[in-house]
């Protein structure tokens, strides 16, 4: 699922997600739990305010972001 992502580019220029949209809903990234690289992509496991975990994938050659995985929060809400 292709998504829109707002990023922060650190001193090295590598983009990190700060927020993203699922349809009309904007989700703030509270924590980047993990990150790893593939041959042409970067992955970020992000925790949002409601406690859910999302894996966002950034395809570096095309600049496209997509949602690679989702784990729903077990918090009562």
Q: pLDDT truncated to tens, each residue of the chain (77 aa)?
A: 889 999 987 666 667 999 999 999 999 999 999 999 999 999 999 999 889 999 999 999 999 999 999 988 766 44
Predicted confidence at residue 76, as pLDDT, reads: 45
Query: Phi and psi dihedrals of 19, rounded to 5?
Result: -160, 160
Q: What's the pTM?
A: 0.86
Residue in 4, 16, 10, 3 with CA at minimum distance from that of residue 42: 16
């Amino acid at each position: 699922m292709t998504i829109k992502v707002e990023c922060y580019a650190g001193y090295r220029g590598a983009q990190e997600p700060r927020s993203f949209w699922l349809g009309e809903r904007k989700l703030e990234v509270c924590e980047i739990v993990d990150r790893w690289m593939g041959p042409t992509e970067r992955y970020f496991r992000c925790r949002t305010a409601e406690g859910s975990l999302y894996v966002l994938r950034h395809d570096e050659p095309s600049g496209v972001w997509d949602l690679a995985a989702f784990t729903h929060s077990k918090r009562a809400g």
